[in-house]
Structures are given as C-alpha cells and as structure tokens.
Chain A
Amino acid sequence: MTLIKEYFQIALRSLTRRRLRSWLTMIGIFIGIAAVVSLISLGQGMRSAVYDTFERMGSDKLMITPKTQFGPPGANTGYVPLVESDLDFLEGISGVQAVSGYVMSSARIEFQDSVRYYSVVGIPTEPERLNLIIDIFATDIAKGRNLEPGDTFAAVTGFYHNERGLYAGKNIQLNNKFFINDQKFYLAGVFEPIGSSQDDSMIIIPMDSFRKVTGIEDRIDFIVVQGDEETLNDLADVVTRSLARHQGVNVDDVGFNVQTPEDLLSTLDTILNIVQGVLIGIALISLFVGGIGVMNTMFTSVMERNKEIGIMKAVGAKNSDILYLFLIESGLLGLVGGLIGIFLGVGFAKLVEIISTQALGKTFLVAHFSWGLFLGALAFSFVLGAGAGTLPAVQAAKHKPADTLRDE
C-alpha cells in the first residue's frame, strides 16, 4: 500500500517540477475532452427534447398520412384519397379508442390592410376529436384559449405570427378580426412556440369553417388513431387492412402510410446518431492529438530522467516499479486534463443552451449531463493518458542501470 502511495508521490513531484510542460500537455487533453463532453451533452439534450415531444403526443397513437411521393396535401395521385368519413369508419374498428384528423391548405389571410398567404389547418370540433388532435400538436396555449366545441369562425395562430408573420409590427389583441379567403375570423388564442417556423406559422380553425372558406370537400390530410400502447403494432396492421378493404383497394396498393410513434422515433434517432457521430468523430481527432502530446512529454521525461531511473534501479527498483511510475505520471496527466475538460465542457454546453434559448425565445435545448458521461470522460482521459504513456514507460523500464549511469 505504501508503495503505491510512493509511486503517486514521485509522479506528482515530477509533474509539478515541470509545471509549464505539464500544463501545456494537459491543455491538449482538456480541450478535446471539453469538446466531446459538450457535444455529447448537447446531443443528449436534443434527443430528450425529441423524446419529450413524442411523449406528449403519446405512444398509444397511430398516424395515417396520404402516400403522395412528392407530397402536397391533396395532390391528385390517382390513389384513393383519405376522406372525412374514414374517421367514422376507423372509430368502428375494435381496439380503436378514438380517431381524429386534420386538413390543411394555403389561404389568403388579410389582417389590418395587409395580405399574406399561409397554411390554414382545419380540425374537428367534436369534443373527443378536438382533444385528440390538440394532443398531437403537442404545444400549449400562450394566450387566450384553444378552439372549443361550438366554435365557428374562431382561429388559433402559431407563435411565429407574433413577431414575424401576420402581425409583424402590429399590436395584436385577442378577438382581433382577420379575414381568411374573405371570411371574417376572430383570434381566440395564440400557441406557445413549437420550434420550427413551418409548424409555428400554422393557423388553426374549425373544420366546418375550413371547408366553407377553402371549398375543399371531404379531404383529410392526416388521421390519428388512438389505441392501446401494448398492442399498437397489431392495431397498425388491422387498421391498414380494414381501411384498404373499406377503400376497395389491394393492401399492397393503398394510398396511405400507417406509422407508429416507434417508427418515427427510430428514424429521428438514426439521424441524430449520424449527426452526433460525425461531430464527435471530428472532435476525437483533437483528443488523439492530445494523446500524442502526452506521449511526447513522457518520452522527454524519460530521457531527462535517465540518471534518476538508473539510480532507482541500482538501489533495487524492479522494471515493473519504473513502468508503474511512468504510467501513473501519464495517467495523472490524462486524469487531471479530463477533469478540467469536463468542467469546461459543461460550461460550454450551458453557454450554447443559454444562447439558443435567447435566440429562439423558448428553452428547447437543455444540455443533458449524467454521471455516466462524467465518469466515462474521466475514465477515457485516464486510459488515454496511460495508453499514450505506455511506450515511453516501457522504454524507461527496459533501461539498463549500468548504461544509463555510464552515459551521464
């Protein structure tokens, strides 16, 4: 036990004696560790933001979208389109708890003498369907209220319009009037930001009013089916086959996709993994370079202490003693570098979090720290240091005491 304590004492002394060199070597390690720690914590933060959104939407819901390869809602592809009466049909399938959907189109919006074109989304106002579709939007009301059963010409607008869109430079109030395709609507509420300007620029109105002002009959652009979380995959099959039969088409030729939250999540997960992998991969280059720096410092250290090694061996130190001595020294360089790097990385990630919150007006990205990350970073930097020190340490251990002492 005392032996190990002595190893550490000798290693520490030699590091503090060459203070400047030790610091420079550690900078090499901690910059890399800081970059990796902040990238991982931000990546984890982004991942949990995505998972949160899905959790709000609920993992017991299927999403049905028309299969239009080049994707505009309602484009005539020759497939049997999804229609509003499909909602009623789907409600009748056993295992389905609730069904809802929406239809969207662009429309001419006139507000206080200015005219713009935005997408308008029509949603059902029957209580059960209304609640289900509001769940899917996964955002809260910032001001006023959501659409309610019995609403006709009421609208809820996305957050985007507050600053840049419809109301840019204008003072908006609840109950303000505006025109959608020349029909007068009033503002019932405003959503909290969702995070993409596409989602945040939507204008939501009751489905009946939507059909009146756009002239679009029957069409539905999105259907959500609520079922039981446990049996959702089976339900997806049942829904696909029943709806195909209902439409009178072969299951292989249906004009819609049925997706489970799992499907969507795994796609997003893959994308996030690739992006994070590339970024961390590039950041790892700097850790590699830092490791080379440790190796360089240790080779120099071995060379400078040839005499010391010779004397230690002459008074009975074994090869393994010398090996441990140098391994501990380089491992310490890595470990302390890693510790400083973790602090810096946490600071940097927090900084990015604050800046993104400032820029977007809402906290979407929360840097996610875990003990696993910290311990992993420490272990990694220690192994990196010790690994980089192995060659020099082996070289030191193999020194013949007679040779080293004679050389001086």
Chain B
Amino acid sequence: MNLKDMFKIAIGNLTHRRVRSWLTLIGIFAGIAAIVALISLGQGLEGAVTEQFASLGVDVLSIQGAGNSFGPPGATSVGKVTDHDISLLKRINGVKTVFGRQLMPALVEYRGNSEALFLASIPSKEGVAVIRDIMDFDLEEGYLISGTDKGKITIGSKVEIDGLKPEVGSKVTIGGKEFEVVGILKKKGNFMIDDSILMSEVAMDELFDLNGDYSLLVVAAEADADMVQLKDSVERTLRRDRGQKVGEEDFVVSSPQETIDSFKEILTIVQILLVGIAAISLVVGAIGILNTMYTAVLERRKEIGIMKSIGATNEQVLGIFLIESGMLGLLGGFIGLVLGIMISKGVEIGVKAAYDIAILKAALPWWLLVGALLFSFVIGSLAGTLPAMQASRMDPVESLRK
C-alpha cells in the first residue's frame, strides 16, 4: 500500500459519509473564515492608519512645547518653540530645513453663519516646498496659497460652515478680516488635510499676533540622515540652549514613525483580543474533527481488522486516518479562506460605500493565505492523531471477532 492508495482510501471514506464530513468541515471553515477576515481587516486598518500619518513623511521630526495631551499641538503647553529655535536647529548636521507651523482654532463666518474650524499655516520661506512635498496637496479646484499670500485661503474638502460649503471665489470672515477662498483641496481621507483651512504664515501672524511663537516646528532631514541620531542631536541642542537637564525638558521631539508605532501597538492588542475570541470556535471545530474521527475508527473496526490481517502495518493504518483528518482540516481551511476573503472584501466595499473613500483596504498578504491553510491542516492532523493511534494499535483478531 503506497501513499496514493492511502489517499484513495481516505477520500473514499470522506465521500462515503458525506453529511458527516460536511458538518465537520463547517466547524473548521467557520472559525478559519472569521480569523482570516479579522486579520485581513486588521492589517488593512493598520495600513490605513499608517497612510494617515505617512503624509507627515517619515524623514521629518516635529517639536512642540511639553504639556498635556489636550487638543492641538502647542495649545496648552508651557514651553514655547520660536524663531530662535529655528535658527539654532538649522545648523545641525543632516538637517535640510526647519520651519514653524501654526495650528489654531478660529471662528469662521460665512454668509451670516459661523463655525469654529482649524487654521493651519503655510510657511513663508523655504518651508513651502517641503510642506507641499510631505502633505502631498492635490487641488480639486483653484490654487494653493503661497506662504506670503494675504487675504486668501485654500480650504480642505470637508470644510463647511453650518452645512454650507464655501465656493472658490467666495469670501469668509476670520477674526474680523475678510479672506477669499482661492482653492479647494482634493479629499484625502486625512483629517489633517480635509478639515483644515490653509492660511499663509504672514496672514496668521497678523491675525493672532504670534510674534515668532509657533505651535510646532518641523525639521526636515537630508535624504540620508539617521533619524534616531538626528532626534538625539535636536534634543541635545535644545536642552543646551535652554539649560535643561535630561528628563526635565519643556519641549517634546516626536517623529511620525513613533506615532505610527504606538498606533500599531494598540491595533495589535485589539486584533489579538478579537482573533483570540474567534480562535475559540476553531478549538471547537477541532474537537468536532476529533469526534468525527473517533466515530470513524469505531465504525470501521472491522475494516481495520481486515486490512491488518492481509498485511497492512500499524504505520499505514495510522497514515490513512491522519490523511483523512488532515484533509478535513485542509479542505475546511480552504473554504474558510475563500469565505474570509469574501467577508473582508464585503466590509471593504461597505466602508467605501458608506464613507465615499477607499480608506480601508482588506489586506491579503501571502503569509495569511499560506498560514491559514497550513494552520487548518495542522489542526486537522493534530485532532486526528489520538483516534488514528487508537486505530493503528487495534488488534486485528479482537476487532474482527466483535
């Protein structure tokens, strides 16, 4: 009896007890489908989060005053970041340029209605090119203001005042001054772009009288700079300038990479919890295989006896039953994989329909596909091991006599 025969016998047995095989398969593929869908959506979500922050660029650092985590950078902080810091940081090796940004909430009036919205500054000098580069602004209509434009703003695609969308060419009033809307950005699915009003640094300075204080500084690094080292030198430079000890800084330097990492960590914990609960159903499914295989061994006692008495070895009997349970697992895994992909694609389409933008893409990395199949095969074989061993150890005389 070779491997081919063993497969034939196993398949013959599975198709012979069609209902039972199907029911056992359902037990496996329900679990696998749930796990595949959860992992694939989790990965997709991770990708979406990364993309939201990637617009900040990974080769930039941002610096803001230390304080508590309420709202926008700089609002409640004690330490300040200023023009003085900019000139200081520009001298560091590996720094391409440094510029400040203002992020301020303000009441915006349009056609007699008003709403508090978020203003973001466009830097006035060499920062313009960098910010265009890292924020990757695309325009739906009109143009992007420069860092020196006065009386003009470019607005994000979701900016509305009491439900009214200002059109290009219309005027809004901010802080008692009139501004003309000269452009509307394309929707990016990124709150930092879609919900903001872009105003030049010069105009913002006039409006709020900021005197060289910024909400945050952006340090753009040279292409080949080591970001960890750069962050260290930035911290050291600022500490020395301010006469502060390690751990007592009144400023915080953060890199987008760190933000992405901490988000990923939270997502991973949530995903482990969900997949863990889904995995319970896989355990139940595996017990179903165990049960089915014990029953199969019991029913085929006579058959096993005959096979053994005409020369089948213990290993061959073991092989037949292991192949049978492994195939139950593998087939269940395959159907589960297909179902899981369908579920996650369905959610992707649902989210796209609901939010009108493709933020969540179901990720289907090769390791998920291969892993799911391998995992279900291993589960099937493992669940079949005990029954298969019982079958292989049967005494042919005993089993034939009964």
Contacts and interface: CB of A to CB of B under 8 A. Distances in A.
Interface of A: 20-21, 24-25, 27-28, 31-32, 35, 39, 67-79, 105-108, 114-119, 198, 253, 255, 278-279, 282-283, 285-286, 288-290, 292-293, 295-297, 299-300, 304
Given A35-B277, A70-B72, A292-B26, A77 B105 contact: yes
10 tightest Cβ-Cβ pairs between the two chains A and B: A78-B107, A72-B75, A72-B71, A286-B281, A106-B67, A71-B71, A115-B248, A296-B23, A24-B291, A285-B281
B284 A31 contact: yes
Contacts of B68: 106, 117-119, 198
B294 A20 contact: yes
A79 B115 CA distance: 9
B125 interface: no
B191 to A, nearest CB: 10
A119 B70 CA distance: 10
A285 B278 contact: yes
B27 A285 contact: no
A297 B288 CA distance: 9
B281 A297 contact: no
A46 B281 CA distance: 25
Given A20-B294, A117-B68, A283 B280 contact: yes
B247 interface: yes
A385 to B, nearest CB: 14
Contacts of A106: 66-68, 76-78
Given A25-B291, A79-B107, A117 B284 contact: no
Given A114-B247, A296-B288, A289 B72 contact: no
Contact of A68 (B71, B114, B245, B250): B71
Contact of A72 (B24, B72, B274, B288): B72
B45 interface: no
B163 interface: no
A21 B295 contact: yes
Given A20-B294, A31-B283, A293-B288, A75 B26 contact: no
Nearest to A108: B78
Contacts of A78: 106-107, 114, 116, 174-175
B20 interface: yes
A293 B30 CA distance: 12
A264 B12 CA distance: 62
Interface in B274-309: 274, 277-278, 280-281, 283-285, 287-288, 290-292, 294-295, 299
A117 B20 contact: no
Contacts of B69: 198
A115 B287 CA distance: 58
A32 B284 contact: yes
B374 interface: no
Among A105, A114, A285, find the residue whose CB has the most chain B CB atoms closer than 10 A: A285
Contact of B76 (A25, A31, A72): A72
A286 B20 contact: no
B367 interface: no
A27 B287 contact: yes
B143 interface: no
Contacts of B244: 115
Contacts of A75: 71-72, 75, 104-105
Interface in B86-125: 104-107, 113-114, 116-118
A34 B69 CA distance: 40
A299 B20 contact: yes
A155 to B, nearest CB: 17
A293 B284 contact: yes
B291 to A, nearest CB: 4
20 contacts: A20-B294, A24-B290, A68-B116, A70-B105, A75-B72, A75-B75, A76-B105, A77-B106, A78-B106, A106-B66, A117-B67, A118-B68, A119-B76, A279-B273, A286-B284, A289-B285, A292-B23, A292-B26, A296-B24, A296-B288
B156 interface: no
A296 B114 contact: no
Given A289-B30, A292-B23, A299-B23, A24 B274 contact: no
Given A28-B291, A68-B71, A296-B23, 5 more contacts: A68-B116, A69-B105, A106-B76, A108-B250, A292-B23
Contact of A282 (B34, B105, B113, B118): B34
Among A68, A198, A293, find the residue whose CB has the most chain B CB atoms closer than 10 A: A293
Nearest to A68: B105
Contacts of B283: 31, 286
